[in-house]
Structure 1
Amino acid sequence: MAITLSFCITFFLIFSRGTMSSSFGSEITNPSSGFAFDLYQHVIKGKEQQNVVLSPLSIYTALGLAYMGAGGRTKEEMASVLRISTNATESKESFRRLLCKYKASSMLSIANKVYVQSGKNLQPSFVEASEKVFSSEADVINFSQSDVAAKTINSWVESKTNNKIQNLIDPSNLDSNTMMVLVNAIYFKGFWKNQFRKELTKKADFWTSETESVKVDMMSNNKAHYPYGVFEDLDAAAVELPFRDEDLAMLIILPNSKTGLPSLEAKLRSMDLFKLRQRMHSEEVIVSMPKFKIEFSIELNDVLSEMGMSSMFSDNADFSGLLNSAEPLKVSKVIHKAFIDVNEEGAEAAAATGIMIARMCLILSREMVCDHPFFYALLDTKSGDIIFNGSIKRFKSE
């Protein structure tokens, strides 16, 4: 049997009690580079007709919290996928620098929480890392009272995401074998530096194929200066819409073809976002894009295993640095839930991740019309951190 660990970032990890069984070198402190695009590639498999929103930053942070208690092969796999050093001091400093950047933000809030089974004690080294690096508090909870435990965790997530992420953890995910739940919640609300004028919003066609379209509320703004670029290698154009007061922006990459998103997405994994943005220049652009609101949830066990973290789900998992007791732990469930709302005033987004561990378009002259499927990323323009990303592929017919 194994123990379950849960993280709600609207990403959570559930650790369960498991059966006892017998370096990565280069450090990348920016989770928005390889990890974010690798994650996106795995998530979109089989979701060709589905709108997607993820928070790589939320998932990265929750996994980082779990990593603080990992050892052996589990630690090596997680370090490789997360692109961090296996050296404890270096990895802690990487996450400390990452999270410190947003502590004073008026638009973005990041919260972490550790729930531990009543009667169990955390390793002092894990407590120190969770408090000093992740600013995470630990609460004791009785997971065998699954309804009460789930309500407690979900209430915390709702309070940290302005009620945008609800019912993250189902009571069925928790039982007497659940030992820990690690939760991360992210909430963002920002206003465009150049807001779209509501009087210019009108019904327009959004093309889901070469011959099929649906009417959407298409926003437009007056001509303004934005970072903009046309990329022949991507067969696409990109524009960066800044938010007011902070170094945060939404990057939109629009394929030239109405059906070009799958081809673009195939290239994203090897795309260097920093170099791409260096090729963009300030130009006067009229931007038209649809208003959209997305809720998205996914269990990430298979995705993370495919990315190279299979050990943490097996009976060979090593999370010996989490609890003082000698019980073997493995991750039984990883769930991510995200929300985004984009309108004339700006954008609002939230995400949560939980980890549970149990007993064993053709662009013409400075006008960008997003009237067919496109990729987007909400990012930090200074560090390149990808906070949210996803794609818009379809709207419901009226």
Structure 2
Amino acid sequence: MVRIRCVGVLLLVVVIGGINAQNVGQRQYPQQFRPGQPLVQSNNRVTPPPQQQQSGQGQATQFQYDTASFAVTELARRIGTVLGQQSNAAVFSPVSIACALSLLLLGADNQTKRELQSVLNFNLNELDIKGVHRQYGRLLRELALTSPDTYPIPWRVNDRCSDDDDEDFAPEPQLIHLANALFVKDGLQVNPTFVDASKGFYNTSINLMDFSGNPQQSASYINQWASDNTYGKINQIVSNYISPETQMIVANALYFKGLWKEMFEKQATTFRKFYPDGHANPSTAKEIPTMAVIGCYPYYDAVEHDAKIVGLPYQGDKTALYIMIPNNSSRSRLQHFQRNLNAQKIGEMVAKMTVRKALVQIPKMKISNTINLRDVLQKLNLHSLFNPATSDLSKMLKPFGPNPDPYYPDRVVFSDSQQQFQQQSQPQQRLYASEIIHKVELEINEKGTEGGAVTASTIFRSLPSVQVRIDTPFLMMIGHDNTRLPLFYGSIYDPSG
């Protein structure tokens, strides 16, 4: 039996210097939402235009995105294009990164706001931006649901493949856990409207910290939060010493655990060659453990992109690992393939997949990444956030003037009066981001041999017509069906690290 565990944690530290802060006090914040509780009913879906079917494949070509899930998938592709030029295994969590940036967007204004909207692909008017926040918050709550999908993936609906070797066992539920937190310096005057919006949209917990008086205890508390919300997989996201200049830490944690729907057999795992720069450069080949299985898998030969896509579903019929690989893949071909992808093309390929009897061979992987996203986001034209002279996160801070509108559980009210932030009794220094650190743990391995185990020779005795051997650079995406959100995404040039 093969088990996959994927964990992503994103840490963003916002630093401000020299503010004369007063105590935040014991303000009573709104009650947190229950998982799945909707803020506003919304069915805003973006549907890519139907494509022509090829070779009888893709009986259903509709793949519906929410505006938010479309934007997050596009963010994944853009970040992946940059990271793929720097790393052999650039795996990250688009959902985790988008969560943290969306929280910053709630508190941003002027140029910083415009740049964040552009990076997040939220290039809409103010009213629509509020709707996207509501929509994105609803999608995040749907991740934890176990009810039947409202918008099933086409290949799940049209599955006509039968596997006589299916094991007789009760499927184990997958686990998706997502948490957002603000760690605020005790005394920083945080805008109640920003607090209410972050809690209402993203169920964010607010924690007052003594960064300057007790930095070690603050670091211990934050690291314990990370450990608790990643089930012990990531135990440290900040050092034992936090700078006294730190005013706020915005953190997001995503934990995913699932079992394959089709079990891999441990006996079939052998050392096979993987070619980090393609078959045309055999001198770069490495012998790595490679798993193999024959079963029913969603598959599409994407001739229009000179590539193939195969899906490995998890138990529970909610998520799948999608592997996209160009024909004759190499480092340069995969980079070219990724540059020419977008969210719509990914959706179209998934929509055209049909379940086929297939041999699938994939590398065992254990990837641990710590990525500083500052340089990556600057390459995506997010500059002002990191510059103390230009960053504008003024909506995070409590304004002078009239009290903000009250908070209601079914709606979030934004103050549109910019004068509240301009009519201050004295100039206030700017909040700016010093670092954006993203940590990911990804593991694909075998655990046990449930059911009647078979030998490797039995597995390869009769090969199906569809054979997918992942032994050259490839793209991977762990997608959640109902929300269309990419939980994890990345380009793999060398699975051995």
Q: After TM superposition, is the score higher than 0.5?
A: yes
The gaps in structure 1 that reach 5 residues or longer are: 1-7, 21-25, 347-363
Q: Distance in 2 between matches of 1:366 and 1:62?
A: 41
1:389 equivalenced with 2:462 (yes/no): no
Q: Distance in 1 between matches of 2:83 and 2:93?
A: 12
The within-5 A match list for 1:212-251 is: 212=283, 213-222=285-294, 224-251=295-322
The equivalent of 1:179 in structure 2 is 247
The equivalent of 1:316 in structure 2 is 390
8 Å contact kept, 1:81–1:309: yes
Following superposition, the deviation at residue 235 of structure 1 comes to: 2.5
The two structures have a TM-score, normalised by structure 1, of 0.85
The within-5 A match list for 1:27-66 is: 28-30=67-69, 31-47=71-87, 50-66=88-104
Following superposition, the deviation at residue 119 of structure 1 comes to: 1.4
Q: Distance in 2 between matches of 1:109 and 1:19?
A: 37
1:227-252: CA deviation from partner (whole Å, max 9, x where unpaired) = 11112333221101111113210000
- Residue 67 of structure 2 aligns to which amino acid in structure 1? I
8 Å contact kept, 2:80–2:90: no
Following superposition, the deviation at residue 18 of structure 1 comes to: 5.7
8 Å contact kept, 2:8–2:92: no
- Residue 384 of structure 1 aligns to which amino acid in structure 2? R
The secondary structure found in structure 2 opposite 1:115 is: strand
Q: Distance in 2 between matches of 1:371 and 1:250?
A: 16
Following superposition, the deviation at residue 396 of structure 1 comes to: 4.6
Out of 222, 236, 240, the position equivalent to 1:167 is 236
User: Given the superposition, is the C-alpha separation of residues 396 and 131 from structure 1 closer, same or farther in structure 2, using an over 3 Å criterion?
Assistant: closer
- Residue 149 of structure 1 aligns to which amino acid in structure 2? S
Following superposition, the deviation at residue 289 of structure 1 comes to: 0.8
User: Given the superposition, is the C-alpha separation of residues 79 and 262 from structure 1 closer, same or farther in structure 2, using an over 3 Å criterion?
Assistant: closer
- Residue 183 of structure 1 aligns to which amino acid in structure 2? A
User: Given the superposition, is the C-alpha separation of residues 226 and 317 from structure 1 closer, same or farther in structure 2, using an over 3 Å criterion?
Assistant: same
1:11 equivalenced with 2:52 (yes/no): no
User: Given the superposition, is the C-alpha separation of residues 152 and 13 from structure 1 closer, same or farther in structure 2, using an over 3 Å criterion?
Assistant: same
User: Given the superposition, is the C-alpha separation of residues 9 and 286 from structure 1 closer, same or farther in structure 2, using an over 3 Å criterion?
Assistant: closer
1:101 equivalenced with 2:142 (yes/no): yes
Q: Distance in 1 between matches of 2:372 and 2:435?
A: 7
Following superposition, the deviation at residue 344 of structure 1 comes to: 3.6
User: Given the superposition, is the C-alpha separation of residues 94 and 311 from structure 1 closer, same or farther in structure 2, using an over 3 Å criterion?
Assistant: farther
Q: Distance in 1 between matches of 2:393 and 2:334?
A: 40
- Residue 282 of structure 2 aligns to which amino acid in structure 1? T
Following superposition, the deviation at residue 192 of structure 1 comes to: 0.7
Out of 352, 365, 381, the position equivalent to 2:465 is 365
The within-5 A match list for 1:26-175 is: 28-30=67-69, 31-47=71-87, 50-84=88-122, 85=124, 86-87=126-127, 89-104=130-145, 106-144=174-212, 145-171=214-240, 174-175=242-243
Out of 257, 271, 286, the position equivalent to 1:203 is 271
The within-5 A match list for 1:272-351 is: 272-314=345-387, 315-324=389-398, 326-344=428-446
User: Given the superposition, is the C-alpha separation of residues 320 and 168 from structure 1 closer, same or farther in structure 2, using an over 3 Å criterion?
Assistant: same
1:192 equivalenced with 2:264 (yes/no): no
Out of 246, 264, 273, the position equivalent to 2:337 is 264
8 Å contact kept, 1:14–1:332: yes
Q: Distance in 1 between matches of 2:300 and 2:369?
A: 29
376-385 vs 52-61, which moves further = 376-385
1:196-227: CA deviation from partner (whole Å, max 9, x where unpaired) = 111211222222242132222211112x2221
Q: Paired residues, what number? A: 365
The secondary structure found in structure 2 opposite 1:317 is: coil
Following superposition, the deviation at residue 121 of structure 1 comes to: 3.2
8 Å contact kept, 1:196–1:345: no
Q: Distance in 2 between matches of 1:288 and 1:136?
A: 40
1:133-170: CA deviation from partner (whole Å, max 9, x where unpaired) = 11111111122233332222111111111222232222
Following superposition, the deviation at residue 383 of structure 1 comes to: 3.2
Q: Distance in 2 between matches of 1:258 and 1:39?
A: 20
- Residue 195 of structure 2 aligns to which amino acid in structure 1? V
The equivalent of 1:355 in structure 2 is none
The secondary structure found in structure 2 opposite 1:250 is: strand
Deviation >4 Å, runs of 4+ = none
1:322-363: CA deviation from partner (whole Å, max 9, x where unpaired) = 1227442111111111111012469xxxxxxxxxxxxxxxxx
- Residue 186 of structure 1 aligns to which amino acid in structure 2? L
Q: Distance in 2 between matches of 1:171 and 1:271?
A: 43
The gaps in structure 2 that reach 5 residues or longer are: 1-6, 20-45, 47-65, 147-173, 400-427, 449-463
User: Given the superposition, is the C-alpha separation of residues 121 and 110 from structure 1 closer, same or farther in structure 2, using an over 3 Å criterion?
Assistant: same
User: Given the superposition, is the C-alpha separation of residues 143 and 383 from structure 1 closer, same or farther in structure 2, using an over 3 Å criterion?
Assistant: same
Q: Distance in 2 between matches of 1:132 and 1:380?
A: 23
8 Å contact kept, 2:10–2:438: yes
Identity level (%): 28
The two structures have a TM-score, normalised by structure 2, of 0.69
